Amino acid sequence: MLLRRFMDHVTQQNWTAAVLDFTIVVAGIFVGLQVNSWNDARLERNLETRYLERLHQELENDIAHFEFGQKLVNERRAQIELLYQIIEAPHLAQSNQRAFVEAIEKAAWKSYLPINRTVYSELVNTGNMILIESEDLREGLSAYYSEIDHWELVIDATGAQQHYVHETAGVLNKDILILIENNDSTWGQPEGFQLDPAQIETVAEDFISRPEAIKWLPRIYQQHTLVSNVLEQHSKRASDLLSEIEQKLQERH
């Protein structure tokens, strides 16, 4: 309608009216584009806020994950210390049956476990990282996850646990391993743990007679200590990122 009127005014050489029509058309287009721009910006800010909230939750989960890792570190190092005590005094195996066989089995288990990075991976893979307005926060997140990737590679590369597991193969038979699994507090309340004293004595003698296994214990202990230090560093960085995200969210509300 407006376009037809504009063409009529041009045909009639009514230039004042034509200019006015043209101005109205341009103004309408400009306002429409501006409204669309404002709406897109609002949607992007809402999406950024949602990502920040999800990142906040994921980082809180990471900190809890690191605390659990520290608990594993303490358990693993205590198990190695018990093994050294029994190496020096084999009779202690009888009064620490469950702890002793669990130490043989679990001392080399990992204490550095992978984290869940669903939100960060989604941001990177979809190209939505640009939605995070703060460049400092984007760089902080990148450094945080890069550091985690780095230490996963470093810790896995040592191979001390694999050597220990290979050298202790056969010390614990199938029945003892099943007993350990069935009495793991992770799966509920243990039903009880009891082995024949002669069986424990045999296990202790077999373990102590394997110097190729025992020689890896210091390296494994050191690795758990390294994990403890790394987890502390991860936890601090995650806490700093949490504080930064909380500030951003407060500015939005």
SS3 178: helix
Question: Going by C-beta distance under 8 Å and a sequence separation of 6 or more, which residues neighbour residue 130?
Answer: none
For residue 14, the model assigns a pLDDT of 56
Which DSSP symbol is given to 129? G
Query: Is the separation of the CB atoms in 210 and 168 below 8 Å?
Result: yes
Q: Distance (Å, rounded) from C-alpha 62 to C-alpha 75?
A: 20
Query: Does an H or E element contain 57, and which?
Result: helix 15-88
Query: Does an H or E element contain 181, and which?
Result: helix 174-182
Q: What's the count of helices (H) and strands (E) in the chain, helices before strands?
A: 11, 0
Q: Distance (Å, rounded) from C-alpha 161 to C-alpha 143?
A: 28
For residue 42, the model assigns a pLDDT of 62
For residue 189, the model assigns a pLDDT of 47
Which DSSP symbol is given to 173? -
For residue 194, the model assigns a pLDDT of 75
For 222-251, the DSSP string reads HHHHHHHHHHHHHHHHHHHHHHHHHHHHHH
Ramachandran sector of residue 29 (left: φ over 0; alpha: ψ -120 to 50; beta: rest): alpha
Collect the ranges in the chain with pLDDT lower than 50.
6, 187-189
Using alpha carbons only, give the angle 26, 34, 15 rounded to the nearest 5 degrees. 10
Residue with tokens 């210091």: 218
Q: Distance (Å, rounded) from C-alpha 118 to C-alpha 122?
A: 6
CA nearest 239: which of 66, 48, 53, 50? 66
Q: How far is CA 121 from CA 15, 125, 163, 250, in A?
A: 59, 6, 34, 25
For residue 145, the model assigns a pLDDT of 96
For residue 156, the model assigns a pLDDT of 77
